[in-house]
Structure 1
Amino acid sequence: MIPKLRAYFALAWLAAITVVALPLQIIAVKFGWGIAKSLPVWWHGKALRAAGLAVRVTGAPARERPLMIVANHASWADISVIASLMPCSFVAKSEVATWPLFGLFAKLQRCIFVERARRSKTAETAAEMADRLSDGDAIVLFPEGTSSDGNRVLPFRSALIGAAHAAISRGGHERVHVQAMSVAYTRLGGLPMSRSERPLVSWFGDMELPGHLWGVFLKGPIDVEVRFGEPIPVDGTTDRKVLTQTLELQVRAMTMAALHGRPLPHGGLPAPAEPRALAIVR
């Protein structure tokens, strides 16, 4: 009964601050106030606290702009984990825009919605991402294309990472910075989380969102480890597929190390090479 009481209290507390913050965010977005970027950071931090998620960070988001952050994706909680660390916008599947309440939250955080089933829309999405990057927004992309079970990193897709190139050509930038980031759910109730326990927080397949969310609130303290790689400078010579492969290797190395409670392998991550070193000779 105690976990349920704690969960009910946490949800009531989160609902109360949302009632205050949501109208303010709507107004701030409408009128372009600066608080529209900082208020979501505050709210997501409170949401993590209510759900019992504690975040440990290694490294830091790059200060350079334009900036694209490329991360693995295991749970709806990834959004709050990442958004609690910095002002940012996400690239999300178009269905998210229709979800009750969560769709509104996504719109108020100025998410970019992509129709994954229509490849013809990829160029339009990349162009929108490029424009937002040029405006100084940090854009977070989940290139796996779907969420995993939290025990692995799925292969990366390169299509939308090409928005970095588009930002260079559309915004007149010499280069764009792309940074790898990993999110790993590592401990439950203070103890290492096993492979079988990780789906308690990972949200994938045909899991129903309301029931899964309620389950996270019931389970008690969950530790999350976030790791950042070094930003990779990308220019017009950078090959998109080679860049995608480098980012995938970096995210996988950081995620697996975090899940197994160990430091990065000797030698660290695959080196963030200079842009021309990433280029394939055609």
Structure 2
Amino acid sequence: MSVWLPSAPCTPRACVEARASLAAVPLAVLRLAAVVALLLVGFLLIPLGARIPSSAVSRWSRWIVRAFGVRVRISGAAAPPTGGLLLVANHVSWLDIPLLAAVRPARMLAKSEILRWPVAGWLTARSGALFIDRDRIRALPGTVARIAEALGAGDAVVAFPEGSTWCGRAQGHFRRAVFQAALDAGAPVQPVSVRYRLLDGGPSTAPAFVGDDSLLTSVWRVVSARGLVADVDVRPVLGPGRPLDRRALARAAEIGVTDTQDLATCASGAPTEGHGGTSAPAGTIRVPRPVPAARRIPALLRGRTYSS
């Protein structure tokens, strides 16, 4: 594993709540059956490819999340329906993927390890995903070029610039490379904030896929949970045409995504290898009080920065 990879200190033991009980098993089994049925429908429709309306793909993606027992609430700005677009979001769970597809169907920038996942790997590969080999930093320029080519061809691309999953109580900084692809292609960037909560409004880390968590364990935790809600807040488009470099563009997108962030602390356990990174020291991540976005983004574009 390369030492340059992004990392998060979140672990299932320290950050993820698990409230499953035997009483939840029948409902969890029914939810899994619904998910499998929807996935089979998706498999059967894959040969149709681009002939499937994007609105149908968005509805199917929402149904997938709903089948897992998670209610979906999408708010904010509308994503441009056509043309090259880089959608960027914070990364908490594998559920983020269908949630972003519900905003606008897009090609996913995915880590190459996903190809080894059962079912999900095959589906991701057939969806036209772009894969990044996170162990080979020398391959990064080629990946950026492929993203720029897809954006230039009018495709939407989804990326999680943190490079690692976080539990949702805090989040990492956005890495800059993927934003260079948007600049090279002259494509707009649309930040999207993904938050998971309970019906009573309190935050939930049950959907988080962090640390040494296994995919099957995470899936079972979600289908066994009750009252989960996914809040997807689509932020206004950034660019193209703004005089930004990739550092400023990444920072502006990060500010847009973190503005509604829950300002709790995330206490980590022992050092761990995350799903998107390498070992990180134990400790507590303290998220500072944010400067209002109305002040931060204009100041950032003038060259001023705020600590994070």
Q: TM-score w.r.t. structure 2 length?
A: 0.75
Q: What whole-Å deviation, never above 9, does each CA across 1:88-119 have from its counterpart, x for those lacking one?
A: 12211111122111111212221111011211
Instruction: Tell me whether 1:222 sits opposite 2:228 in the alignment.
Output: yes
Deviations 1:206-238 (A, max 9, x none): 101101101110112211111122111134842
Gaps of 5+ in 2: 1-21, 266-289
Say which is worse superposed, 205-214 or 248-257, in terms of deviation. Answer: 248-257
Aligned counterparts, 1:82-231, within 5 A: 82-168=100-186, 176-187=187-198, 190-194=199-203, 198-231=204-237
The count of corresponding residues between Structure 1 and Structure 2 is: 259
Deviation at 1:38, TM superposition (A): 5.0
Q: Which moved more, 1:266-275 or 1:60-69?
A: 266-275
Q: Which residue of 2 aligns with 1:19?
A: 40
Structure number with greater CO (CA < 8 Å, separation at least 6) is 2
* Ranges in structure 1 where 5+ consecutive residues have no aligned partner: 169-175
- Report the secondary structure of 1:44's partner residue: helix
Cα distance change, pair 111–39 in 1 and its aligned pair in 2 (3 A): farther
The alpha-carbon deviation at position 39 of structure 1 amounts to 5.0
The alignment yields a C-alpha RMSD, in angstroms, of 2.8
Q: Which amino acid aligns with 1:53?
A: V
Letter in 2 for 1:91: L
Higher normalized helix content (fraction of residues)? 1
Distance 1:142 1:17, change over 3 A: closer
Q: Give TM-score scaled by structure 1 length.
A: 0.82
CA distance in 1: counterparts of 2:259 and 2:87, whole angstroms: 16
Runs of 4+ in 1 over 4 A off after TM superposition: 36-39, 264-267, 272-275
Distance in 2 (CA, whole Å) between partners of 1:148 and 1:93 is 16
Please report how far the alpha carbon of residue 193 of structure 1 lies from its aligned counterpart in structure 2 after TM superposition.
3.3
Matched, 1:53 2:73: no
Structure-2 change in CA distance of 1:229 and 1:272 (3 Å): farther
Read off the aligned partner of 1:6 and give its amino acid letter: L
Q: Deviations over 1:69-99 (max 9, x none)?
A: 1110011111122212321122111111221
1:2: how far off? 4.4
Q: 2:196–2:228: 8 Å Cα contact kept in structure 1? A: yes
